[in-house]
Amino acid sequence: MNVLVLSCGPLSTRFAVFHASDGHPHLSGVVHGLGTPDAALDSAHEGRLVTRRIPGADALTALRAIFGLLRERGLLDKLAAVGHRVVHGGARFTESTLITPEVIAKIEACIELSPLHNPANLLGIEVARSTLPGVRHVAVFDTAFHQTMPPPAYLYAVPYVWFEKYEVRRYGFHGMSHRGAARRAVVSLGLDPHDHAVVTAHLGNGCSLAAVRDGRSVDTTMGLTPLEGVVMDTRCGTIDPSIISHMERELGCTAEEVMEQLHRNSGLLGLSGLSSDLLVVEAAAASGHVRAGLALDKFCHSVAKSAAAMIVSLGRIDALVFTGGIGENAVGVRARITGLLEFAGLDLDPAANETHGASRGGRISRSTRPAVAVVPTDEARLIAHDALELVQGRRAVARWKDDLPGA
């Protein structure tokens, strides 16, 4: 038997199938370029990569293509559970949960807080439940890990009735990534599992940092929505909210149109004027492109500044942990960020950084306390683990323990 994981977004739909017995990945892939002529389904099985072009595919077509592939491979009738990544669960969900009509209604109620992602997540749930009515489905929330934050971390200094009546508060995202990265770092760095203070930096297209104390999130950078926090690919991160009304007047447009610019045309793309891809920005900066250099400087400064803020919430720092596509691969960016944090005792080893800490359990610092480390993210496997545990109990995932990040 296997576990299917679905992560449905506005631009792509990811999937993975894991063996229920030990969590070994069986099949994985992504439908990317949704709504474009270049849309395609890429899948990988035991190192073999296959691409199928599906020009113009929308989210529904993507899901049908994925289930068609699973049917071809004989996997649809061998599923013990389906785990669904859900971006926003508000304060309603503090852990992964079995999907029922009541749960779906609560996810729908969070659409206003995540208008891009929750509808895509709900579509995935709808199609999967209709395709696999005899299989139990589990929602695993990006926001759940951060529900342990104390009030000073999650409250905004706005009229309190906004929090009481409209649920205006910090929720945080990338919870599965932060949870997995922190737990794996505790093991690989030999930290005390019951007494540790770790800053996790999930850096990718979306970016966020979290303060993890003794396995629990006590602060994070993203807020009510994934727009707040550090500079991202096309998202602005934290700004003065007065900019919205100011640009309404200057551009003669609506607040919604300004927000669209802050979501789609800001961040690395907006500052560089070239690309949202960090590799492109880095290369341009190295060749002397002034705005690319500014974008890179701003990105690293915002991450380091936020990391320092996370240290305040922790009271100390035992490790800074990089994860995500940028965090795991961008040698120069890690060096810049760590360099800005030398005052906190972080001491990068350039040679170890070049190899991503491959021979040192991910550690890329000279010092061991505090340490700097690179930890691969494995959100899909965590989703599969949570889904199987909810459906079949803890004994069902006992053999996953050695390999599960941080378990």
Does residue 337 sit in the same domain as residue 395?
no
Is residue 202 domain-resident? yes
Q: What are the b/e assignments for 387-399, b being 16+ CB within 10 Å?
A: bbbbbbeeebbee
Residue 276's contacts (CB-CB under 8 Å, 6 or more residues apart) are 205, 233, 234, 267, 268, 269
Does residue 293 sit in the same domain as residue 393?
no
Does residue 249 sit in the same domain as residue 359?
yes
CATH code of the domain covering residue 221:
3.30.420.40
> How high is the pLDDT of residue 401?
61
Does residue 263 sit in the same domain as residue 320?
yes
Give the pLDDT of the chain (407 residues) as one tens digit per residue.
Answer: 999 999 998 889 999 999 999 999 999 999 999 999 999 999 998 789 999 999 999 999 999 999 999 999 999 999 999 999 999 999 989 999 999 999 999 999 999 888 888 999 999 999 999 999 999 999 999 999 999 999 999 999 999 999 999 999 999 999 999 999 999 999 999 999 999 999 999 999 999 999 999 999 999 999 999 999 999 999 999 999 999 999 999 999 999 999 999 999 999 999 999 999 999 999 999 999 999 999 999 999 999 999 999 999 999 999 999 999 999 999 999 999 999 999 999 999 999 999 999 999 999 999 999 999 999 988 999 999 999 999 999 888 888 864 444 34
- Is 142 catalytic? The answer is yes
Is residue 73 domain-resident? yes
Does residue 66 sit in the same domain as residue 33?
yes
> How high is the pLDDT of residue 405?
45
For 48, the token pair is: 């073999």
Give Cα separations from 40 to 13, 60, 64, 72 (angstroms): 11, 13, 13, 17
Closest CA to 203 of 301, 324, 319: 324
Does residue 118 sit in the same domain as residue 54?
yes
Catalytic annotation, pick one of 38, 142, 214, 240: 142
Does residue 391 sit in the same domain as residue 302?
no
Is residue 257 domain-resident? yes
Beta bridge partners of 17: 4, 27
Is residue 238 domain-resident? yes
Does residue 108 sit in the same domain as residue 245?
no
Does residue 9 sit in the same domain as residue 121?
yes
Total domains in the chain come to 2
Is residue 345 domain-resident? yes
Is residue 20 domain-resident? yes
Closest CA to 244 of 229, 225, 228, 262: 262
Domain, as residue range, for 284? 190-374
> How high is the pLDDT of residue 213?
98
> How high is the pLDDT of residue 404?
44
Is residue 160 domain-resident? no
Does residue 204 sit in the same domain as residue 266?
yes
Does residue 299 sit in the same domain as residue 395?
no
Q: What is the DSSP string of 204-263?
A: SSSEEEEEEETTEEEEES--SSTTSSS--SS---S--THHHHHHHHHHT--HHHHHHHHH
Return the sign of the alpha-carbon dihedral for residues 310, 313, 314, 316.
positive
